[in-house]
Amino acid sequence: MTTNKNKIQFLLGDKLTEIEFNSEISPTTTVLNYLRSLPNHKGVKEGCAEGDCGACTVVIAEESNNKLTYKSFDSCLIFLPSLHGKQLITVENVGTSEKLHPVQEALVETHASQCGFCTPGFTMSLFSLYKQDFIPSKEFIIDALTGNLCRCTGYKPIIEAAHKCCGEHNHDYFSENENETILKLKGIKNSTNNIVIDNGIQKYFLPSNLAEALQLRTDLPNATIINGGTDIALRVTKKHEIITTIIDLSQTIGLKKITKTDKEWIIGTGVSIEDVRIEVKDIFPALYEMLSVFGSKQIRNKATFGGNIGSASPIGDSTPVLMAYNSTLVLKNTKAEREIKLREFITGYRKTQMSSDELIIAVKIPIPNTNEIIKSYKVSKRKDLDISTVSACFNLLKDEKGKIKEIFMFYGGMAATTSRASKTEDFLNGKEWNRENIEKAMKLIDEDYTPISDARAGAEARKIMARNLLMKFYNDTINL
């Protein structure tokens, strides 16, 4: 095993491809821009360069345990180095007009393209669904497509195409060549581990293990950390910034583990939002609900749990929920590890207690007691693939008589940080869980927050939403 200097290797379709970074090729080149610079991969389209339209969707296959998993991603948000050791599949690889893949055939036959500009992206999202090899329900299909916008069709035929082509025992070119692909990918991974890129303008590190990552963090305290990169990539694609030093944790093993005990779950910060979502469904339903309206499939496949916390955004969706579950973060530097309650971790607008040599390595979520009622809510203009206008998560503990023993109310979108409605909580604690008290409490929320007006909604509407979410929680828990 060696360190790869200035070079990455991956499969483009089945072609072993090597990219050498130099002053002409920046390591923060997006996969979208790279593909579009090639003569034969112009099928991938740019509709927004910010992960909101899916026109740039590609599928990336990864090998683990001698199996390939096929996931959809927005290529506009991926920097080239993170492709290392993976198979990148574009619409051209899936099939040609002379030899269509079953997914493409179905799209043609259901009249699912009009202007066609969104179509390559839909093709790829459907292709990844097809590769899951099961008969998807309508919900599953919709979930696979929330990251793709179409302005022409009204989506109906696209859903129909999905029903038509996805099923069990799918067989295609990719399954035929699976073994060969696995061998090729293993070959790349066996020959390298760490990637170090320095093109004279930018430095980009892709450490393969945690120790390496922490060392880099100590050595380069001003480097930008990326994990999924869905936040940071926008600085490049939208603000056209040149980020000079990047430590990319996306290939760092050791951050991708979920440990489950009877008391708590310890979720590595490198686990994707989608993987967390699928895992937590039964044990942490409020987290599951929230993550189910988080971004889109493509975003959730890329975005990480750690990145969501690390960004410390007041409209980050996992924070109010993790706070309501009273989660703890595990921070680590080269010397030590420490734990800190998430409720205390965030200190201001995008400010945290993390020091410049630390990384957040895991989140510990205690399994709630059976008498804790926890529910999460998100209000956004559009239900899917939209950032919260207001989000909330409540944790209610009733005593034997049914009175409120303790209630925790966390709101996102109401202040510069995710924050507690302390006055309202104080009022409710010790009172009956009844409509009258809820209505009184709703008035107090106005005292807890002075929200802002922005592109998403005005302050007045935010206040109404915050009040109403408490009523909604009450109504949802009335019989519990």
Partner 1 sequence: MKKIYHESAKYHVSGEAIYIDDIEVNNQLLHGYVYTSPVAHAKIKSYNYSEAQKLAGVHAILNYKDIPGHNQMVPVFQDEVILAIDEVTFIGQAIFLIAAETEEIARQASKLIEIEYEELPAILTIEDAIQNGVTVQPSRKIETGDINEAFKNAKNIIEGELKIGGQEHWYLETQICLCIPQEGRDMKVFSSTQNPSETQLLVAEALGLHKMNVEVEMKRMGGGFGGKETQGNHVAVWSAILANYTKKPVKIRLFRDEDQKMTGKRHRFLIKYKAAFDENGLISAVDFEQNADAGATSDLSMSILERAMLHAENSYYVPNMRIIGHAWKTNLPSNTAFRGFGGPQGIAAMETIIDRIARTLKKDSAEIRNINFYALFERNVTPYGQKIENNRLPKIWEQIIETSEYFARRKQVNEFNQKNEFYKKGLALTPIKFGISFTTAFLNQAGALVHIYNDGSVLVNHGGTEMGQGLHTKMRQIAAKELGIDYENVKVNATNTTKVPNTSPTAASSGADMNGMAVKDAIDKIKKRLSTFIACKFGATYRDNTSDAENLVYDRNIIYDWKQPERKISFNDAIKAAYLGRINLSSNGFYATPGVNFNRDRGFGKPFFYFSYGMAVSEVLLDILTGYTKILRTDILHDVGESLNVDLDKGQVEGAFIQGVGWCTTEELKYDSKGNLLNHSPDTYKIPGVNDIPEIFNVNLLKGYPQPGTIHRSKAVGEPPFMLSFSVWLAIKDAISSIKNHEIEPNFQIPATNENILLSIENLKK
Ligand X SMILES: Cc1cc2nc3c(=O)[nH]c(=O)nc-3n(C[C@H](O)[C@H](O)[C@H](O)COP(=O)(O)OP(=O)(O)OC[C@H]3O[C@@H](n4cnc5c(N)ncnc54)[C@H](O)[C@@H]3O)c2cc1C
Task: Among 23, 169, 171, 240, indicate the residue that binds partner 1 (CB under 8 A).
Answer: 240
Q: Does position 55 bind ligand FES by CB under 6 A?
A: yes
Count of helices and strands (H, E) across the chain: 19, 21
Helix (H) or strand (E) holding 279: helix 273-280
Please tell me the distance from the alpha carbon of residue 390 to that of residue 294, in angstroms, as a whole number.
13
Q: Does position 113 bind ligand FES by CB under 6 A?
A: yes
Contact letters (x/-) for ligand X, 49-88, by CB under 6 A? -xxx------------------------------------
CB 157 to ligand FES: min, Å? 10
Q: Are 378 and 446 in contact (CB under 8 A)?
A: no
Which residues, 119 to 138, sit near partner 1 by CB under 8 A?
Answer: 119-120, 123
Alpha carbon distances (Å) from 243 to 203, 217, 368: 9, 16, 41
Which residues, 269 to 328, sit near ligand X by CB under 6 A?
Answer: 269, 273, 294-295, 299, 302-304, 306-308, 310-311, 316-317
Instruction: Please measure the distance between the N-terminal and C-terminal CA atoms of the chain and give it in whole angstroms.
Output: 57
In this complex, which beta carbon is closest to ligand X, that of residue 188 or of residue 346?
346
Residue 154 interacts with, from ligand X, ligand FES, partner 1, none (CB under 5-8 Å by kind): partner 1
Q: Among 2-10, 45-53, 217-225, 446-454, which window interacts with ligand FES (CB under 6 A)? A: 45-53
CB 30 to ligand X: min, Å? 12
Q: Among 114-122, 171-179, 185-193, 205-213, which window interacts with partner 1 (CB under 8 A)? A: 114-122
Give the type of residue at 10: F
Q: Does position 108 bind ligand FES by CB under 6 A?
A: no
- DSSP string computed for 302-331: H-BHHHHHHTT-TT-SHHHHHHHTT-EEEE
Q: Does position 232 bind ligand X by CB under 6 A?
A: yes
Please tell me the distance from the alpha carbon of residue 167 to that of residue 467, in angstroms, as a whole number.
45
CB 300 to ligand X: min, Å? 8
Q: Does position 200 bind partner 1 by CB under 8 A?
A: no
In this complex, which beta carbon is closest to partner 1, that of residue 187 or of residue 458?
458
Please tell me the distance from the alpha carbon of residue 241 to that of residue 206, in angstroms, as a whole number.
20
Task: Among 222, 436, 455, 479, indicate the residue that binds partner 1 (CB under 8 A).
Answer: 455
Residue 316 interacts with, from ligand X, partner 1, ligand FES, none (CB under 5-8 Å by kind): ligand X
Opening angle at CA 29, ends 27 and 33, nearest 5: 155
For the stretch 445-449, contacts whose Cβ atoms lie closer than 8 Å and that sit 24 or more positions apart, written own/partner, are 445/421, 445/470, 447/423, 448/414, 448/420, 448/421, 448/422, 448/423, 448/424, 449/411, 449/414, 449/415, 449/419, 449/421
Q: Does position 268 bind ligand X by CB under 6 A?
A: no
Helix (H) or strand (E) holding 209: none
In this complex, which beta carbon is closest to partner 1, that of residue 360 or of residue 465?
465
Q: Does position 207 bind ligand X by CB under 6 A?
A: no
Structure tokens at 46: 């740019």
